[in-house]
Chains A and B, each alone.
Chain A
Amino acid sequence: MYRIRFHGRGGQGMKTASRILGSAFFAEGFEVQDAPSYGAERRGAPIFATVRAAHAPILERGPMPQPGLVIVADETLLPMAAGGGVLSGMGERAVLLLHSAVDANTWKQRLQLACRVLTLPLRLEETGGRGFVGALCAGAAARLVGIVSREALEGAIRQELAAMPAQVLAANLTQAGEAYDAMKKHAGCVCEAPEAPAPGAVDANWIDLPFEAAELSAPDIHGALTSIQVRTGLWRTLRPVIDPERCSRCHWLCGSLCPDAAISPEAEGLPVIDYEHCKGCLVCVAVCPRHAIESIPEAQAREQEASP
């Protein structure tokens, strides 16, 4: 069975990538299972999607503990434990494909991985939609597994993106084709692995739950303001940074307009951004009349923080 896991952020097209790859496998005569996995979070939050393909009925379900191929659309997810465990379960025979401008060897060293690491050069400006790289990633995956033809890939893209305007579809076909070609050297490097028995699986031991009155059974939160434990700062790919020299301390403006209420002034009136929760929408950058807020890539900001 082929096992492929796509990681990205909501809006980058990983769900679509899994559907395209799934449909392409299907066209090649495989049994297929593809499923996205995300919570209530929205665009920008880490998500993943899985594809299983085999020539026999697929009995495995749920998340994918031992993928043969992992594709990461957004490198900022890598250092993140909450990113859904991007690297989890990657054995020596697995392949990691990163959509990144940094080269594969550097990543291999940084991440200290034994498995094969490949990169797909970063192309965020594509017309498939802002930061949408679903077709691109599906195209690369199709070539890496080695048994999906270009025709099956294109047919799958036409099918999955049927609702898109013609020029968007065309752009996605081009992108996917380029990724398919770029992976030519590595075609077929992803291996099939046998169906694994669920570790320690035992027969279900059903327990009957008696009906409880609402005061016992309904979820009930007694703590106030508990949402601040959720670090939505991890959604950010760009970080707003305030220049205190330029800032005129009109904090009621950026402080009111920040959708997430992540800006409040300190005693002297200088606004301070709560990076634990700022989602990086950059509304503040757009509204600041003094142009005192600039945006820098989150990865760069973290590197600067790490080195004194």
Chain B
Amino acid sequence: MSETIYRRMSDLPSTHLLGGGTAMCAGCGGLQALHQIYDVLGTKTVFVNAAGCMTLLSVYPFTPFRGSWLYTAMASAPAGAQGVRDALDILCDKGRLPRDEDLQVVTLTGDGAAYGMGLSATSGAIDRNLDFLYICYDNEGYGNTGQQSSPATPHGAHTATATGPAGHSGFKKDLFGIWVANRPAYVATVIGTEPLDLARKIEKAAKLSGPRLILALAPCPTGWDFDPQQAAEIGRLAVRTGIFPLKEYLDGRVVHTKVKRPRTPVEEYLRAQGRFQHLFEPERRQDVLDAIQARVDAYWEHWDPSH
């Protein structure tokens, strides 16, 4: 694979392609990642968007994109991407679209669609070796409808449907692992607070063909209950504590692109967010905190055993 053009922070794009004026919340971590991703992917893209917060990017007659955007039902974005890809292929084959004007088909969905409702359509698309780039902005809940629990909700978090003293009882599903098990072209995790790591991964993904997933953790002031100004600090803590590993899968191998040693205790990440406050007040839930830390430790014990 060729060298990256993003060698240092100053190589990052300085003018931005995504338009302002969108309806996303102030401080939205998903939008932060998306605008960086769009800068690297460029304008030869068509977005296929499942129902979720980002549906509100393009509300008629407004769009922040410089190219096409298509809205699909929540479970069907990868199927929508198949239709768009097929149409582009037909146009290219018939000579009605020059090959150098072909577009990258990008599926854009939240975690509710990517981890849950849309997983079946994703599975089918991977089976058909669909040439598409799937971007999931993961705000760990059904954000657009008021942050109900989704299969991406982390253990212990309060959501609109998990209001008990110990929060959400389930554990976050491993979407990265599910994709990797299918041996697709590329899978990577990114976060908007690591823009250089993100740019390199998008650059790589854009050059490949076949099914590709970019999984972006999306700190969400509204759903996670923190002040918008804290969005970057929470993103950084997600990486520093190791709760959100930055990694990529390529050619049968998983590589971690940022490994923090030593890791910050996960408690610092949890404490900064309202959705975990019940683990600290009125009384400390050491059992839940230990369970969360133990999962993080076990993960890194497996991948980075010497530390």
B2 at the interface (CB under 8 A from A): no
How many chain B residues touch A (CB < 8 A): the figure is 52
Cβ contacts under 8 Å, B28 to chain A = 259
User: CA–CA, A257 to B230, complex, Å?
Assistant: 12
Q: What is the 8 Å Cβ interface bit string for chain B, positions 15-40, against chain A (1 contact, 0 not)?
A: 11111111111111101100110000
Q: What is the 8 Å Cβ interface bit string for chain B, positions 47-89, against chain A (1 contact, 0 not)?
A: 0000000001111111111110000000000000000000000
Majority DSSP secondary structure for residues of A touching B: loop
Asked if B36 and A256 make an inter-chain contact with CB atoms under 8 angstroms apart, the answer reads yes
Partner of A264 from B14, B57, B227 at Cβ < 8 Å: B14
User: CA–CA, A43 to B16, complex, Å?
Assistant: 24
A84 at the interface (CB under 8 A from B): no
Cβ contacts under 8 Å, B110 to chain A = none
* Closest A residue by C-beta to B277: A165
How many chain A residues touch B (CB < 8 A): the figure is 50
Report the number of A-B residue pairs with Cβ-Cβ less than 8 Å: 152
* Closest A residue by C-beta to B33: A259
Contact A219 to B27, CB < 8 A, known contacts A259-B231, A262-B20: no
Contact A42 to B25, CB < 8 A, known contacts A130-B227, A219-B60, A225-B63: yes
Task: Give the shortest distance, in Å, between A268 (CB) and chain B (any CB).
Answer: 12
* Closest B residue by C-beta to A252: B12
Cβ contacts under 8 Å, B56 to chain A = 40
User: CA–CA, A94 to B223, complex, Å?
Assistant: 38
Asked if B63 and A226 make an inter-chain contact with CB atoms under 8 angstroms apart, the answer reads yes
Cβ contacts under 8 Å, B195 to chain A = 252, 256-257
Q: What is the 8 Å Cβ interface bit string for chain B, positions 255-268, against chain A (1 contact, 0 not)?
A: 00000000000000
Asked if B63 and A283 make an inter-chain contact with CB atoms under 8 angstroms apart, the answer reads no
B129 at the interface (CB under 8 A from A): no
Q: What is the 8 Å Cβ interface bit string for chain B, positions 221-264, against chain A (1 contact, 0 not)?
A: 11000011111110000000000000000000000000000000
B104 at the interface (CB under 8 A from A): no
B9 at the interface (CB under 8 A from A): yes
* Closest B residue by C-beta to A253: B9
Partner of B32 from A11, A41, A259, A276 at Cβ < 8 Å: A259
Partner of B229 from A228, A230, A286 at Cβ < 8 Å: A286
Which A positions have Cβ atoms within 8 angstroms of B? 11, 39-45, 130, 163, 165, 219, 221, 223-232, 235, 250-253, 255-262, 264-265, 274, 276-283, 285-287
Asked if B27 and A225 make an inter-chain contact with CB atoms under 8 angstroms apart, the answer reads no
Asked if B229 and A227 make an inter-chain contact with CB atoms under 8 angstroms apart, the answer reads no
B306 at the interface (CB under 8 A from A): no
Asked if A274 and B58 make an inter-chain contact with CB atoms under 8 angstroms apart, the answer reads no
Cβ contacts under 8 Å, A264 to chain B = 14-16
Asked if B35 and A261 make an inter-chain contact with CB atoms under 8 angstroms apart, the answer reads yes
Asked if B23 and A41 make an inter-chain contact with CB atoms under 8 angstroms apart, the answer reads yes
List of 3 A-B pairs having minimum Cβ-Cβ separation, nearest first: A277-B20, A230-B21, A281-B27
User: CA–CA, A265 to B14, complex, Å?
Assistant: 7
Asked if A283 and B65 make an inter-chain contact with CB atoms under 8 angstroms apart, the answer reads no
Partner of A281 from B57, B61, B231 at Cβ < 8 Å: B231
Asked if A256 and B22 make an inter-chain contact with CB atoms under 8 angstroms apart, the answer reads no
